[in-house]
Structure 1
Amino acid sequence: MSIPPSGQPATLRFARIQQLRMIGAILVIAAHAFADGAKYLHAGSRLSILSQTHLGVNLSFVISGFIICYTARGRERDWRLFLRRRLVRVVPLYWLLTILLFAIVMIRPELTKGTNLLSPLLLARSLSFTTFLSGASPLIYVGWTLEYEMLFYLLATLAMSRLERPWHVIPIVMASGVVGIALLDATIGVGMTGIRAITLDFTAGILLAYWFTEGRLPPRPATAVLVGFGVAFAVAVIAGEGLSMAVVPIATALVALAATRDRRGPMRSTVGRLLAAGGGATYSIYLTQVFTVSAMGKLAARFAPGLPLALFALLTVIVTVLAGLLVHRAIEKPLMRLLRPYSSPKPEAVQLSPAQAASSSG
């Protein structure tokens, strides 16, 4: 068996994918900075469109689908190892920062501004990634994306444990879900444009991983995703939300370009290498913004109320990235080292299905 299936070296690091991951995180922070800055500074900027495109979120989900499928088809073929690594990667830091925010709000309840952040039930739902079931936002408000990411992980785990060709079935199931949600939205207005977009991002990433490793797309999954996008885009255009769906192919094309260039050769640009190096810290940066963006807004409103919104956004991005890098180095990396035994392969525990065993022996 070659790892990955295309015979590419297992040590391929996807430097440009990491670079895109960092760029996506910066775009998300900028979007939140423009939105919060407009509220605190009562100012506007032409660049505020960044808060409406959601390109950063789309990039993150395409990359997630790509990396998950790529690694799972290579070195994480056992569903137990796959699930353990996803949980170890996502849960500890998210739980820690969620509990920290809850503690801060308990000490300074005036920071809630009338919201119900002190609710123990909200804390429980946030820690269990289930606030979407109640229509609320988690304590770490960007955690809503992690809740859907966790659903994707569970779907992938179930498919890997039960099906011979899980990565053919998952895109079809998810694209079918997108069509169903879009049709519901068209008839009764469920208002889930964002969910349709990130679901298609994830499935597009999976198809990219196939194309990257096999040099082709699996016909039925590819057709299902194209139909899903077509239906969802049509509904979004009718509802006046076409921009959200239009970003999906843009994000997909950017990830495809990055993966292709990674396969052709190493990155030589100094700036590019710095961005790629920061890509490993994007999870910490993504979560840390919940603290820094709001804090920067309060500080600006008090000490620099006349600060131009664009400059505020730039300063907020810089502060958030630096704070996230610190959290990554001081908290996330030690946590990963501590939990490494739980995310390492255990050969005696790995049980492949007969189909997987046959393909592995080839």
Structure 2
Amino acid sequence: MHGQLIARDGFAQPKAAERVSIQYLRAVAALMVAGVHLQPQLERLDHGGAWPQWLIGGVDIFFVISGFIMWLTTRGRPQTPLVFYRRRFRRIVPLYWLMTAFIVSVLLLAPDLLYSARLDPWHVLASFAFIPYPNPATGLLEPLLIPGWTLNYEMFFYLLFGAALLIPDRGRVIAVSVLLCAIVSLQALNPSPDTLLSFYTSSIILEFLLGIWIGVWHLRERRRPTVHLSLTLLAGGFAAMGVLPTLWPELPRLIGLGLPAAVIVAAALRLEQAGGIPDWRGLRLLGDASYSLYLSHPLVLSAASRIWKQMGLPGIGAPAWTFVPAAMAACVAVAIALYLTVERPLATRRNLRRMPPPGRPAGAGDTGDEHSY
């Protein structure tokens, strides 16, 4: 792979931002999550029927990628927990807070425009603070910006992983593994549903650990991958993600969606190493904009279904299915616009502030950390 760095132990250590496969998977994962959230909009347009709920596995792909990137961007690059937390805050928080503030403003000015949000001061504060709190509109532990429930897990993982930076590389992966497994084992206490204990002890947090171990394996694997085997594993991962939760819905999420997500991420990385992934600028841009797409798509889909219904399109011969490509195109367009006008300028200003003086090399943390979600 081009642009590789050689770590002190002799293993190749490419920059995280140069992995086109990860960028593509971000785009695919965000589109999957947007796709699964089409169902309630179609129901509002009086279109019933089954819908591929396994598309929610895009969240699990994101979690595996997050663990992978956190390992890559910290391994062999000493940094304090405080520096790590500051970089994670700058990456995740500004856009999320802006989107949440937008929802609050809509609830204050025109609350009827939002289907699944109610104004509750404690819920608003919890949403900004990344604390799981019952959504007054749904009763679930969801923030105002509903996809933000995954960010509550992300922030919890960052809190634990950042503290583990005090441990040398060789012991860190073991310490994080033991800690996350111990936390999940607390499910044996049978916590009540929709409580903080049940939320944070979900097996879904082990998907971050899968990503970490993929990072360990990926940096040390020396055998040359083949395109055919990588493609087979990639296709098998997506097939398993579609089949396992459908045939065995009682399976823990870690098994039904997490393990297939790990296979997908590992296979995509190997496929890129084998030279089987072309560099498509448009898909790479969508990967860059995946965080904007992930956060903005619920609002775009809600607005799109309202406009669609007010225009009477389902009633004048246009079937509800035509809403799907139109709504997804709107989500992509808004996400790219949001990324280019808000998310990227914010990141650019952060990078300029962190730029070292002339003559001093960039620090270890300045190598692709901006693309970690």
1:42-82 CA-partner distances (Å, limit 9, x unpaired): 21244x12x34521111111111111111111446443332
Q: Secondary structure at the match of 1:339?
A: helix
The residue type equivalent to 1:44 in the other structure is G
Counterpart for residue 99 of structure 1: 101
Counterpart for residue 47 of structure 2: 43
Question: Within 2, Cα distance between the matches of 1:254 and 1:302?
Answer: 40
In structure 2, do the counterparts of structure 1 residues 308 and 201 end up closer, same or farther at CA, with 3 Å as the change threshold? Answer: farther
Counterpart for residue 150 of structure 1: 155
1:215-250 CA-partner distances (Å, limit 9, x unpaired): 39xxxxxxxxxxxxxxxxxxx99x953274312121
Counterpart for residue 285 of structure 2: 277
- Residue 329 (1) aligns with residue 336 (2): no
CA contact (8 A) 2:153 2:200 kept: no
CA contact (8 A) 1:81 1:344 kept: no
1:24 shift after superposition: 0.5
Match of 1:265 among 252, 260, 275: 275
1:36 shift after superposition: 2.5
1:184-235 CA-partner distances (Å, limit 9, x unpaired): 44x866795997353122111011000001239xxxxxxxxxxxxxxxxxxx
In structure 2, do the counterparts of structure 1 residues 324 and 4 end up closer, same or farther at CA, with 3 Å as the change threshold? Answer: farther
Identical-pair percentage = 28
Q: Secondary structure at the match of 1:318?
A: helix
Counterpart for residue 175 of structure 2: 169
Question: Within 1, Cα distance between the matches of 2:269 and 2:321?
Answer: 32
Instruction: Kindly report the root-mean-square deviation, in angstroms, between the aligned alpha carbons of the 2 structures.
Output: 3.3
1:311 shift after superposition: 2.9
Which runs of no fewer than 5 residues in structure 2 stay unpaired?
Answer: 223-244, 365-373
CA contact (8 A) 2:35 2:55 kept: no
The residue type equivalent to 1:200 in the other structure is L
Counterpart for residue 119 of structure 1: 120
In structure 2, do the counterparts of structure 1 residues 7 and 316 end up closer, same or farther at CA, with 3 Å as the change threshold? Answer: same
Question: Within 2, Cα distance between the matches of 1:321 and 1:8?
Answer: 32
Counterpart for residue 230 of structure 2: none
Q: Which moved more, 1:21-30 or 1:196-205?
A: 196-205
Counterpart for residue 220 of structure 1: none
Q: Secondary structure at the match of 2:342?
A: helix
CA contact (8 A) 2:34 2:298 kept: no
| TM-score, normalised relative to structure 2 | 0.76
Counterpart for residue 356 of structure 1: none
In structure 2, do the counterparts of structure 1 residues 74 and 301 end up closer, same or farther at CA, with 3 Å as the change threshold? Answer: farther
The residue type equivalent to 1:19 in the other structure is Y
In structure 2, do the counterparts of structure 1 residues 43 and 86 end up closer, same or farther at CA, with 3 Å as the change threshold? Answer: same
1:153 shift after superposition: 0.5
1:4 shift after superposition: 8.4
Question: Within 1, Cα distance between the matches of 2:353 and 2:33?
Answer: 31
In structure 2, do the counterparts of structure 1 residues 184 and 109 end up closer, same or farther at CA, with 3 Å as the change threshold? Answer: same
Counterpart for residue 159 of structure 1: 164
Name which structure has the greater RCO, CA cutoff 8 Å, separation 6+: 1
Counterpart for residue 210 of structure 2: 204
Report the structure, 1 or 2, having the larger helix content: 1
Which runs of no fewer than 5 residues in structure 1 stay unpaired?
Answer: 217-235, 352-362
CA contact (8 A) 2:64 2:265 kept: yes
Match of 1:86 among 85, 88, 92: 88
Counterpart for residue 69 of structure 2: 67
Match of 1:255 among 246, 265, 271: 265
Question: Within 1, Cα distance between the matches of 2:168 and 2:258?
Answer: 28
Match of 2:251 among 236, 242, 254: 242
Number of residues of Structure 1 aligned to a counterpart in Structure 2: 322
In structure 2, do the counterparts of structure 1 residues 142 and 195 end up closer, same or farther at CA, with 3 Å as the change threshold? Answer: farther
1:269-325 CA-partner distances (Å, limit 9, x unpaired): 64xx43223211100111111210111121222222345444322221111011000
1:145-188 CA-partner distances (Å, limit 9, x unpaired): 0111011001011111356622221122212322332x344x86
Match of 1:291 among 290, 299, 308: 299
CA contact (8 A) 2:184 2:202 kept: yes
Q: Which moved more, 1:11-20 or 1:137-146?
A: 11-20
